[in-house]
Amino acid sequence: MVFRFSMNRTDSLRISLLRAGHGIRTASLALLLLLAQSAFPAGADDEISEPLDYKMEDYRTPVPKTLEGATVVTAQQARTLWHEGKSVFIDVMPRPEKPADLPNDTLWRDMVRETIPGAVWLPNVGYGRLPPEREEYFRRSLEELSGGNKSKPLVFFCQANCWMSWNAAKRAREEYGFKNVIWFPQGTDGWGFPDAPLVKVDPRP
């Protein structure tokens, strides 16, 4: 008896059983299929397609490998850009905001964020839809950080499997007209370089 396993690009498992000698009992075949499906779950690594518009929900889910019109970089490539010092690194990790109606006796602790050294933290600009004041903040910050130069390299990141950086990079390119947009999908989760450890940062005003 020979078992032949073959997987296509989306890792959907196809099993071909070539019988030799005495055949395979139904119970044995069912057990084999169950074990195979457990080892190779369907769709575990399916490639994610880019949505036509911004991602509007489920921001902590697998992201695409691409962003149309932008450059996508690995951790090593991001590190090279960081060492060159010509790019602005922009962290778009969201930050819970203190509710306006929070009782005075309620203890509130602001989120602590550790990011790539020299990066600027622009929280809450990666949602699919931005309120007017947050969009104005994002647009103004990019204009100031780039010195008004639309060709300035801008590296957007957050964490791994975070659509916030994908949305922010897409908006900077498509709506704000920046021509050298770079997306670093792994973000701080992929930044493990001893010569540049993560540092605490406050949000940009």
Rounded to whole angstroms, how far apart are CA atoms 188 and 162?
Answer: 11
Q: Report helix, strand and coil shares of the chain as percent, to nearest 5.
A: 25, 15, 55
Residue 34 confidence class, pLDDT cut points 50, 70, 90: very low
Which of 45-49, 93-97, 131-135, 193-197 is predicted with the least confidence, judged by mean pLDDT?
A: 45-49
Rounded to whole angstroms, how far apart are CA atoms 141 and 137?
Answer: 6
Residue 101 confidence class, pLDDT cut points 50, 70, 90: confident
Rounded to whole angstroms, how far apart are CA atoms 54 and 200?
Answer: 29
Residue 41 confidence class, pLDDT cut points 50, 70, 90: very low
pTM of model > 0.95: no
